[in-house]
């Protein structure tokens, strides 16, 4: 969501690309944003009283957070290399 919003604002000329930033870096940071979204879903999972469903939701949130962190790290790590 972040990368789409940033691309739209930059493309429309409403915002500049941050100094020293590249598109790949913006995309990597947006991957890290998935961690916060997943944690919001985790808090929402507390609404379930059924223990089985609650555990499945928590496991899905944990997996989503790990996937977001890994994706963001990999993109940022790859974008920092000199070619």
Torsion angle, alpha carbons of 33, 35, 36, 37, to 10 = 90
Q: What is the pLDDT of residues 30-40, one digit of tens each?
A: 777 776 766 77
Least confident range of 9-13, 14-18, 37-41, 62-66: 37-41
Please report which confidence band the pLDDT of residue 28 belongs to, taking 50, 70 and 90 as the band edges. confident
Q: What is the pTM of this model?
A: 0.57
% residues pLDDT > 70 (the chain): 82
Q: Are 73 and 19 in contact (CB under 8 A)?
A: no
Largest CA distance in the chain: 53
In this prediction, residue 14 carries a pLDDT of 92
């Amino acid at each position: 969501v972040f990368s789409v919003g940033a691309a739209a604002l930059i493309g429309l000329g409403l915002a500049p690309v941050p100094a020293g930033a590249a598109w790949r870096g913006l995309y990597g940071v947006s991957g890290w944003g998935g961690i916060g979204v997943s944690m919001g879903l985790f808090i929402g999972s507390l609404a379930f009283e059924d223990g089985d469903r609650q555990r499945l939701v928590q496991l899905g949130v944990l997996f989503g957070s790990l996937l977001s962190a890994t994706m963001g790290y990999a993109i940022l790590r790859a974008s920092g290399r000199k070619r």
